[in-house]
Amino acid sequence: MKNVELIKTLSENAAELEKQVFALTGDESKAALKELNRTGELIDKLIKKTLDETAAEYTDAMTVLQECVVAFGEAQGKIKKIVKTIQKVSGALDAIEKLASKVA
């Protein structure tokens, strides 16, 4: 979180420099703009560096959610087995009936 604090401080400085760009004229305004661009560049790099550092923190949580997605599929398959069991019983009765008709 040190980076975040640093970004906030730099951001406040940049906001102040931006005001100077518009309030001042001539070389003073150009100098303020130059400083603003440098500060902005630094903020940009710091933001990207921090985003890179936190990216890895997502991985574990994403893996857990992906496992949960797989688990839902497996649970659905198990429940469908109930239907399949009834269908098997029904099929067995049909087979018996055919057998009975042949015997008759």
Q: Which residues contribute to the site for other proteins (CB under 8 A)?
A: 4, 7-8, 11, 14-15, 18, 21-22, 29-30, 33-34, 36-38, 40-41, 43-44, 47-48, 50-52, 54-55, 57-58, 60-62, 64-69, 71-73, 75-76, 78-80, 82-83, 86-87, 89-91, 93-94, 96-97, 100-101, 104
Min CB(56)–other proteins separation in Å = 9
Rounded-to-integer distance, Cα 18 and Cα 36, Å: 7
Rounded-to-integer distance, Cα 66 and Cα 72, Å: 10
For residue 24, what is the DSSP state?
A: S
Secondary structure class of 104 (helix, strand, coil): coil
Min CB(68)–other proteins separation in Å = 4
Place of tokens 């398959």: 77
